[in-house]
Amino acid sequence: MALTLTDGNFQNEVLDSGKLAVIDFWAVWCGPCRMLAPTIEALAEDYKDQVVVGKMDVDQNPEVSQKFGIRSLPTVLFVKDGEVVDKQVGAVPRSVLEKKIQEHLS
Enumerate residues 6+ apart whose C-beta is below 8 A from 17.
Answer: 52
Q: Is 33 a catalytic residue?
A: yes
CATH number, domain of 94, equals 3.40.30.10
| Contact assessment for residue 93 and residue 60, using Cβ atoms and an 8 Å cutoff | no
Instruction: From the candidates 21, 23, 30, 64, give the one annotated as an active-site residue.
Output: 30
Number of domains in the chain: 1
Q: Whole-angstrom Cα distance, residue 86 to residue 30?
A: 22
Give pLDDT tens digits for 19-66: 999 999 999 999 999 999 999 999 999 999 999 999 999 999 999 999
Instruction: From the candidates 20, 33, 36, 73, give the one annotated as an active-site residue.
Output: 33
Q: Calculate what percentage of the chain has a pLDDT beyond 70.
A: 100
Q: pTM above the 0.75 mark?
A: yes
Domain that includes residue 58, residue range = 3-105
Residue type, 65: S
pLDDT for the residue 106: 75
